[in-house]
């Protein structure tokens, strides 16, 4: 046979032998596939925890805003004027106007179960709440300058008395910063732990494959003695390693469906708007690519590394 | 064809496995190597197959020093030698057919040749009916006949049988020896190591007796003596 012909014949034989060995060593293959599956699921976990970190931080940033409460006596005209001047600022993304009546309705809804407060409101006779402007900046770091703008004299009424009752930015900011820091470090810790877990399970997968090759070490020496080349002995083992990776990867990807579906509701209520199941569906192609290639690489590499020791004869 | 020239092998723990051994084997010869355990028989074979390197001396096969060969050349060299072991050493996850086919595949033979030669060689050792069985489904004698078929299939220049009858009953022992004799009659060198006095006496072929790493006797038509 010519060189090229021989190459294809050998490749065909190596693949066929690999499939046979995988199938005939059923129990060993099952054990290796399960170990590998756990490894690949841990790698998948890195994705999910990364996505959760991302969304929870983004959401927190989104929650930062400035509420400017005006004194009840401030006229709607003046308030809208300030709204207008705020909107002309470059840093400002959106300004929402909440009128006194709307503020009252919201307040009543919030305290619908508290008869004492509602009674006190009735007693008062008039609306004690001022209008509110809710300001969102393009970037969280820009709130400081917006707040400064409001602090400066620009929001004074004609009589020289400020119509702004209070700006809640400064109280909220420290709390939000602190919370963001806590979530950030908690997620970092989780991320580090998942990476460590992934490395450990990769080592376990490597060891399992090494064990399967250790079982075959006598076979390898026989193959050597009948004059088989290194590549020809190694080939089927690498093939089996790749099959472990592919089967384990497929199992992991399939198992992620019920798992993320089951966790979907929980994640949605915990991280508003983030559903782990929809995330899995949306990024399926990316996750599948990474998990499958990780499986194939771990399987093939483990086999190559493990078999080297027995090929020295 | 094969010659050992002043070969010594000393293992790292200072034990001397072979001590200045010289002999040669001509084409078509049937040579039995006898001696007690630890006499150096197995070391001799390992050195010949280039599994281990001699401490001193050289081993030649067809004028080539086998220990100067590179990996690829060693593979080619081993394909010219058929091995039969006491413990059979078949590949447990391959059928009888695949065990023999593997040796041919390793030698780069085509699928057509394999399909043709494997049944033929199994017929030669009278195992045509077990072609699709796995080794675990065979008796000791049958396994050894598969091993011989495997050793034969690439039409080697030399067959090495290392205590091939050690695990067999007398009937199977007789069969195996007859097959080896037949192979030798067809022109292949056979090197046989054994403890079995009956085999040696019935063969009436050359006997090399070893003890403590030395050749103590080399008779053209020997009998089995333990001094």
State how far the Cα of A97 lies from the Cα of B25, in Å rounded to an integer: 107
Distance from CA of A52 to the nearest CA of B (A): 47
Residue B3: enclosing H or E segment and its boundaries? Answer: strand B2-10
Query: In terms of residue numbers, what domain contains B106?
Result: 1-217
State how far the Cα of B131 lies from the Cα of B147, in Å rounded to an integer: 13
Same domain for A274 and A144, yes or no, is no
Residue A115 belongs to a domain: yes
Please give the C-alpha separations between residue B12 and each of A6, B16, B17, B53, B165, in angstroms, as whole numbers. 41, 9, 11, 12, 31
Q: Output phi, psi for B105, to 5 deg.
A: -60, -45
| Cβ atoms B88, B164 nearer than 8 A | no
* A2, A218, A227: best to mutate for the B interface, most B CBs within 10 A: A227
Domain CATH code at residue A99: 3.30.70
* A11-25, A95-109, B78-92, range with the lowest pLDDT: A95-109
Residue B65 belongs to a domain: yes
CB contact under 8 Å between A229 and B51, yes or no, is: no
Nearest CA in chain A to B49: A225
* A125-134, B79-88, B142-151, range with the lowest pLDDT: A125-134
Task: Looking at mean pLDDT, say which of A45-59, A61-75, B21-35 comes out highest.
Answer: B21-35
Q: Is the pLDDT of residue B227 over 70?
A: no
Domains of chain A: total: 2
Same domain for A82 and A229, yes or no, is no
In DSSP terms, which residues pair with B9 in a beta bridge? B18
Tell me the pLDDT band of B44, cut-offs 50, 70 and 90.
very high
Same domain for A203 and A304, yes or no, is yes
Residue B226 belongs to a domain: no
Distance from CA of A5 to the nearest CA of B (A): 10
Residue B208 belongs to a domain: yes
Tell me the pLDDT band of A139, cut-offs 50, 70 and 90.
confident
Same domain for A107 and A142, yes or no, is yes
Q: Does the predicted TM-score (pTM) go above 0.90? A: no
Residue B142 belongs to a domain: yes
Tell me the pLDDT band of A82, cut-offs 50, 70 and 90.
confident
Instruction: Give the residue carrying structure tokens 């333990």.
Output: B226
Does B103 touch chain A if contact means CB atoms closer than 8 Å?
Answer: yes
State how far the Cα of A179 lies from the Cα of A175, in Å rounded to an integer: 6
Nearest CA in chain A to B73: A227
Q: Is the pLDDT of residue B177 over 80?
A: yes
Environment class of residue A5 by beta-carbon count within 10 Å: exposed (0-12), middle (13-18) or buried (19+)? exposed
Distance from CA of A203 to the nearest CA of B (A): 27
Same domain for A91 and A127, yes or no, is yes
Residue B76 belongs to a domain: yes
Same domain for A50 and A198, yes or no, is yes
Domain-terminating residue out of A132, A162, A192: A162
Residue B224 belongs to a domain: no
* B108, B143, B147: best to mutate for the A interface, most A CBs within 10 A: B108
Domain CATH code at residue B67: 3.40.50.300
Mean pLDDT, to the nearest integer, of A44-67?
Answer: 78
Query: Rounded to an integer, what is the distance from CA A175 to the centroid of its chain?
Result: 24
Q: How much is the pLDDT for B224?
A: 64
Same domain for A77 and A217, yes or no, is no
Does A25 touch chain B if contact means CB atoms closer than 8 Å?
Answer: yes
Does A313 touch chain B if contact means CB atoms closer than 8 Å?
Answer: yes
CB contact under 8 Å between A226 and B71, yes or no, is: no
- What rounded mean pLDDT belongs to chain A? 83
Residue A101 belongs to a domain: yes
Domains of chain B: total: 1
In DSSP terms, which residues pair with B81 in a beta bridge? B158
Same domain for A101 and A204, yes or no, is no
Domain-terminating residue out of A162, A188, A215: A162
Of A1, A10, A225, the CB nearest to B83: A225
Same domain for A138 and A12, yes or no, is no
Residue B50 belongs to a domain: yes
* A57-61, A111-115, A121-125, A206-210, range with the lowest pLDDT: A57-61
Does B102 touch chain A if contact means CB atoms closer than 8 Å?
Answer: yes
Residue B227 belongs to a domain: no
Query: In terms of residue numbers, what domain contains A205?
Result: 3-60+178-311
State how far the Cα of A89 lies from the Cα of B211, in Å rounded to an integer: 103
Mean pLDDT, to the nearest integer, of B34-59?
Answer: 90
């Amino acid at each position: 046979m010519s060189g090229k012909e021989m190459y294809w014949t050998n490749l065909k034989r190596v693949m066929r032998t690999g499939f046979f060995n995988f199938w005939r060593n059923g129990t060993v293959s099952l054990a290796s596939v399960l170990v590998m599956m756990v490894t690949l699921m841990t790698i998948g976990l890195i994705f999910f925890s990364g996505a959760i970190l991302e969304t929870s931080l983004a959401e927190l940033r989104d929650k930062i805003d400035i509420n400017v409460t005006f004194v009840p006596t401030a006229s709607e005209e003046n308030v809208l004027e300030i709204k207008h001047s705020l909107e002309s600022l470059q840093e400002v993304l959106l300004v929402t106007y909440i009128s006194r009546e709307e503020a009252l309705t919201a307040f009543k809804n919030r305290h619908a179960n508290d008869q004492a407060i509602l009674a006190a409101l009735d007693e008062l006779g008039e609306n004690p709440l001022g209008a509110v402007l809710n300001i969102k900046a393009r970037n969280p770091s820009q709130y400081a300058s917006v707040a400064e703008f409001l602090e400066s004299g620009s929001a004074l009424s004609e009589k020289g008395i400020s119509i702004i009752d209070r700006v809640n930015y400064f109280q909220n900011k420290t709390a939000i910063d602190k919370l963001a820091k806590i979530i950030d470090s908690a997620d970092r810790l989780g991320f580090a732990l998942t990476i460590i877990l992934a490395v450990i399970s990769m080592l376990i997968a490597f060891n399992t494959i090494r064990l399967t090759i250790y079982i075959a070490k006598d076979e390898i020496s026989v193959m050597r003695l009948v004059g088989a080349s290194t590549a020809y002995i190694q080939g089927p083992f690498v093939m089996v390693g790749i099959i472990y990776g592919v089967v384990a990867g497929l199992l992991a990807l399939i198992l992620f469906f019920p798992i993320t579906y089951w966790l979907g509701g929980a994640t949605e209520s915990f991280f508003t708007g983030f559903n782990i199941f929809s995330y899995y569906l949306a990024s399926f192609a990316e996750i599948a690519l990474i998990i499958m290639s990780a499986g194939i690489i771990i399987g093939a590499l483990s086999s190559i590394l493990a078999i080297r020791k027995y090929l020295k004869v | 064809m094969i010659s050992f020239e002043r070969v010594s092998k000393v293992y790292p723990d200072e034990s001397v496995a072979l001590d200045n051994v010289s002999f040669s084997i001509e084409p078509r010869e049937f040579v039995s190597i006898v001696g007690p355990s630890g006499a150096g028989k197995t070391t001799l074979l390992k050195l010949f197959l280039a599994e281990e390197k001699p401490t001193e001396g050289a081993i030649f096969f067809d004028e080539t020093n086998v220990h100067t060969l590179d990996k690829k050349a060693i593979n080619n060299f081993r394909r010219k030698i058929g091995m039969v072991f006491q413990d059979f050493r078949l590949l447990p996850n391959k059928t009888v057919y695949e065990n023999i086919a593997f040796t041919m595949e390793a030698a780069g033979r085509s699928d057509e040749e394999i399909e043709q030669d494997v049944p033929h060689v199994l017929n030669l050792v009278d195992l045509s009916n077990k072609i699709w069985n796995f080794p675990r489904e065979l008796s000791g004698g049958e396994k050894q006949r598969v091993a011989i078929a495997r050793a034969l299939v690439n039409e080697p220049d030399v067959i090495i049988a290392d205590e091939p009858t050690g695990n067999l009953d007398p009937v199977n022992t007789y069969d195996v020896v007859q097959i080896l004799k037949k192979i030798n009659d067809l022109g292949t060198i056979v090197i046989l190591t054994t403890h079995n006095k009956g085999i040696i006496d019935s063969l009436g072929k050359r006997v090399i007796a070893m003890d403590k790493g030395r050749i103590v006797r080399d008779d053209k038509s020997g009998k089995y003596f333990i001094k």
